[in-house]
Amino acid sequence: MDDTSTRRRGLFRPRNLITLAAGAALVATTLVVPGTASANTTLRAAAAAKGRYFGAATSSFMFSDTQHVTILNREFNSIVAENEMKWDATEPNQNQFTFTGGDRLVAHARANGMSVRGHALVWHAQQPRWAQNLSGTALRNAMINHITRVATHYRGQIHSWDVVNEAFADGGSGGRRDSNLQRTGNDWIEVAFRTARAADPTAKLCYNDYNTDGVNAKSTGIYNMVRDFKARGVPIDCVGFQSHLGTGLASDYQANLQRFADLGVDVQITELDVAQGSSQASIYERVTRACLAVTRCTGITVWGVRDSDSWRRGENPLLFDGNGNKKPAYTAVLNALNSGSGPNPTTPPPTTTPPPTGGGACSAAVTLNSWNGGFTASIRVTAGNAPLTGWTVSVTLPGGAAVTSAWNATNTGTTGTVAFRNVSYNGQLGAGASTEFGFQGTGVGPTATPTCQAA
């Protein structure tokens, strides 16, 4: 299961202690940086002025905590679910999905001008019990179904998804972590990314990990994977550096971010928290400055709001104390954001499937994600020049292929030419409007363009 103890041991490597003296000097520098009349007074405004987001992990049950939510809304323009979008939370029983907590977070973000990071589609930890007990093809198919359903549910509402979390081993191997997912085959990560892209072509798709805070064996293993993915066209857009830090920071923290950015992906600081101590503020400052100095570093997320909200109980690793007061670390980050001169990120949006064109009452376009022995298909239905009150899309499957499940449509038949009919909530489409449904199948996916008929 979780490897918190391993991670915590990693936080206090001697390497981290060496930078303490330099860190203390930086605190002094920060404290004498004068605020200017035009300096932004909140993290979200200061980050936005630099073209970045500044986010925090939270939970929907915290929305009834007035102090927490006041700080959250004032200071942050991005949120991430600390736990509520994970596999155990969203699919407690196989193929039964609950989105209550995550939906509340998304609604809160919308109401308060925030974007949402999605965390995390697949991870060896926090799997529901039923998934822990699966292996092989059954687990692979369950993973694909999970990613498809969750990313489809939140389609268009997530800035960046942590598609795969913590898949690399600690220590010097630079290789993959052993897990039930890893044992389904080394291609599980790329299948996860392709599946996520098919389900939500607008979200940036990230690989996310910890103990990657400099050039080391683990970060290099991930670097090699990202380079390989980019070379082979596996859809990856970003790499998350969790940055659960101790009392020191690797001197090549920024250089490490930059080498990933140079591969053509965005980088994000995704779970920042720093052990208490005299170097805390300076480490926060240096991480912030590092992000500002890397053009493709698009945002920073801290893993909680107040020290009392943190998973690192007793370490007081966040920007606000247990009473909601701003700590020196907060001031250090705000000053760094206000004074940083990093260029604004200019990143291309992820590739999206162009909408189908042409006349007729409706049309359908398919995006296919295939692997050895199976596939998922996302189908975009677009109304023609007149509104629709219902639609049926016919898809012809090659011999041996069969539909195993469908979402946002009901199917008649599972082999040969399969008809997918709209469900109650997506049959009505205005002229030119579109909607999406999908299905999963065994065998080889459809190769011909589906046909669409208005009801």
Residue from 126, 347, 414, 453 binding ligand G3I (CB under 6 A): 126
Question: SS3 for 147?
Answer: helix
CB of 447 to ligand G3I, least distance (A): 39
CB of 208 to ligand G3I, least distance (A): 7
Q: How many residues bind ligand G3I (CB under 6 A)?
A: 11
187 part of the interface to ligand G3I, by CB under 6 A: no
Instruction: Specify burial of residue 294 (Cβ count, 10 A radius: 0-12, 13-18, 19+).
Output: buried
How far apart are the C-alpha atoms of 224 and 243, rounded to whole Å?
20
Q: Are 397 and 446 in contact (CB under 8 A)?
A: yes
CB of 333 to ligand G3I, least distance (A): 20
Quote the DSSP letter at residue 369.
Answer: E
- Taking alpha carbons only, the member of 98, 15, 111 closest to residue 63 is 111
Q: Which of 84, 166, 271, 315 is catalytic?
A: 271
CB of 4 to ligand G3I, least distance (A): 6
45 part of the interface to ligand G3I, by CB under 6 A: no
Both structure tokens of 414: 């599972």
Q: Are 78 and 301 in contact (CB under 8 A)?
A: yes
Kindly list the distances between the CA atom of residue 227 and the CA atoms of 7, 142, 193, 232, 311, in Å, as whole numbers in the listed order.
25, 27, 14, 9, 33
Of 84 and 436, the one with the shorter C-beta distance to ligand G3I is: 84
Question: SS3 for 379?
Answer: strand
- Taking alpha carbons only, the member of 93, 91, 87 closest to residue 122 is 87
Residue from 145, 219, 242, 392 binding ligand G3I (CB under 6 A): 242
Residue from 91, 266, 271, 285 binding ligand G3I (CB under 6 A): 271
311 part of the interface to ligand G3I, by CB under 6 A: yes
Backbone torsion region of residue 241, taken as left when φ is above 0, otherwise alpha when ψ lies between -120 and 50, otherwise beta: beta
262 part of the interface to ligand G3I, by CB under 6 A: no
- In the region spanning residues 4 to 23, those forming contacts with ligand G3I, defined by CB under 6 A, are 4
- Taking alpha carbons only, the member of 439, 422, 354 closest to residue 388 is 422
Question: SS3 for 12?
Answer: coil
Of 170 and 271, the one with the shorter C-beta distance to ligand G3I is: 271
Of 310 and 382, the one with the shorter C-beta distance to ligand G3I is: 310
How far apart are the C-alpha atoms of 12 and 30, rounded to whole Å?
24
Of 125 and 423, the one with the shorter C-beta distance to ligand G3I is: 125
125 part of the interface to ligand G3I, by CB under 6 A: yes
Tell me which residue has its CB nearest to ligand G3I: 311
CB of 312 to ligand G3I, least distance (A): 8
82 has catalytic annotation: no
CB of 86 to ligand G3I, least distance (A): 7
What string marks each residue from 62 to 91 as x (binds ligand G3I by CB under 6 A) or -?
--------------------xx--------
Please give the positions annotated as active site: 271
Binding site residues, ligand G3I, CB under 6 A: 2, 4, 82-83, 125-126, 165, 210, 242, 271, 311
